[in-house]
Amino acid sequence: MRKKLLFIALAVLVSGVSYSQNANSDEPEFNHWSIDAGIGLTKPYRNMAPGYGTATPDFLVGELGARYMFNEFVGIKAGFGYNNFQEKDGLMDFTTKQYQFNLQGVFGLGRLLHFETWTQTFNLLAHAGFGVGTLDYDNTSDADKVGTALVGFTGMVKLSDRVSLNIDGTTGYNARQNKTFDGRASKGAEPLVFNTTVGISYYLGKNETHADWYVRGDEYAALLDSRIAALEEQIQKSRAEDAKKVQEGDDKLNTRVDELDSKVDGMNKEDIDVIEQLINEGYVNIFFDFNSSKIDKGATDAINVLRTYMKKNPGVNVNLVGYADEKGPEDYNKNLSTKRAEAVADVLVKAGIEKSRLNTEGRGEDTSVDEGSPNARQLARRVTFSIR
């Protein structure tokens, strides 16, 4: 753990300084400086003498610093930190204070990850570096002089062009710490400290915005163009797939109608009379899904019954009456029932029945079924036929 923290802190600090040296001299107009402050909770990790301990978490930790961003992506900050460690209720009393000055490299992760494409309010910084300071124990004047490796992340919420709300989480490793955090024994486990703070960043400078929130116009436009192009490609692909599915559905429906059409000539007068009776007594219906006027492929048999009858009896006309269940506004259901009747009529016309022989009507809600029963409502969503 110690080696990892030291490596990360060194890598980020060196990278930040190196990146700044290669920054473009023709830099855009944004503010570079900010004052960062925060207060919150702290927790020393394990390194305590027997009988001693702190609350989880403990209060308090305070931070104050100045930050300079070379550009939107990289910066450096210098700060002062204060930790106050005290006993947990029920454990032995102690008070230890840690004072620290630190220097850290900063990376604008929000800009590196293009947060600006989906938000202008949130940002994320990563920071790491080193600090020097002291641990002052209440039982001795012999303070520990320590070096600290720091690694952390800062979430930011933009409140205005001058102020941001910050929530920071930082882990510190104290090198050369000789005693436990309570000061009562020699150091045992690795002396780690976890800090969480809430605070603000106040931006300095004459420009309108700070590097934390600056977006380069040309890069932003190019990024949006690429995103738009990708979306347009997806839309075109989706449209092509939908068109293919519609065509396949039409082909299947036409094939089914052709198959049923071949059976018409084989029906006799007795069959026709039976069909007429079924139609007039309401045994032949087309049912629909909820809030839909689309005819299911399973309904072609029922439609063909009516089509067969009309083919054998060219002198008769038919009423197509649509219904809806009672879910939803009454006016909407009235319109939906009409669309259902018209959808059935459209299939019949395409199957060779003259449009003049069909009369469509939407009667709206069928109140004869139990509105609270899903199965009963399914029976209400239908088109019925009557011969005229």
CB 85 within 8 A of CB 98: yes
Alpha-carbon dihedral angle through residues 209, 213, 218, 224, given to the nearest 10 degrees: -140
**Residue 17 reports pLDDT greater than 50:** no
**Residue 32 reports pLDDT greater than 80:** yes
Among residues 299, 220, 193, 210, the alpha carbon closest in space to that of 253 is found at 299
Read off φ and ψ for residue 236, nearest 5 degrees.
-60, -40
331: its two tokens: 């006016």
59-63, 241-245, 360-364: segment of lowest average pLDDT: 241-245
Class of domain 2-214: mainly beta
Query: Per-residue pLDDT tens for 252-304?
Result: 655 654 554 554 445 556 666 777 777 878 788 889 888 888 887 777 788 88
Burial state string for 205-228 with b = 16 or more CB within 10 A and e = fewer than 16 = eeeebbbbbbbeeeeeeeeeeeee
Q: How many C-alpha atoms does 35 have within 13 Å on its Cβ side?
A: 5
For the chain, the domains span 2-214, 216-262, 264-387
The pLDDT, as a whole number, for residue 279 is 81
The pLDDT, as a whole number, for residue 25 is 42
Secondary structure element (H or E) that encloses residue 244, with its range: helix 217-261
The mean pLDDT value for 166-194 works out to 92
Place of tokens 């400086």: 33
105: its two tokens: 């490299």
CA distances from 283 to 277, 278, 309, 311 (A): 9, 5, 14, 19
CB 208 within 8 A of CB 74: no
Q: Is the CATH number of domain 264-387 3.40.50.1820?
A: no
The mean pLDDT value for 88-94 works out to 94
d(CA 209, CA 32): 9
**Residue 367 reports pLDDT greater than 70:** yes
Read off φ and ψ for residue 129, nearest 5 degrees.
175, -155
Burial state string for 98-114 with b = 16 or more CB within 10 A and e = fewer than 16 = bebebbbbbbbbbbeee
d(CA 323, CA 336): 8
Mean of all residue pLDDT scores within the chain = 84
The pLDDT, as a whole number, for residue 24 is 45
CB 67 within 8 A of CB 50: no
pTM of the model as a whole: 0.55
The mean pLDDT value for 52-62 works out to 93
Read off φ and ψ for residue 143, nearest 5 degrees.
-75, 150
Burial state string for 234-254 with b = 16 or more CB within 10 A and e = fewer than 16 = eeeeeeeeeeeeeeeeeeebe
Q: Going by C-beta distance under 8 Å and a sequence separation of 6 or more, which residues neighbour residue 265?
A: none
The mean pLDDT value for 319-337 works out to 92
The pLDDT, as a whole number, for residue 11 is 52
The mean pLDDT value for 84-100 works out to 95
* Residue that wins the pLDDT comparison between 120 and 269: 120
The pLDDT, as a whole number, for residue 264 is 46
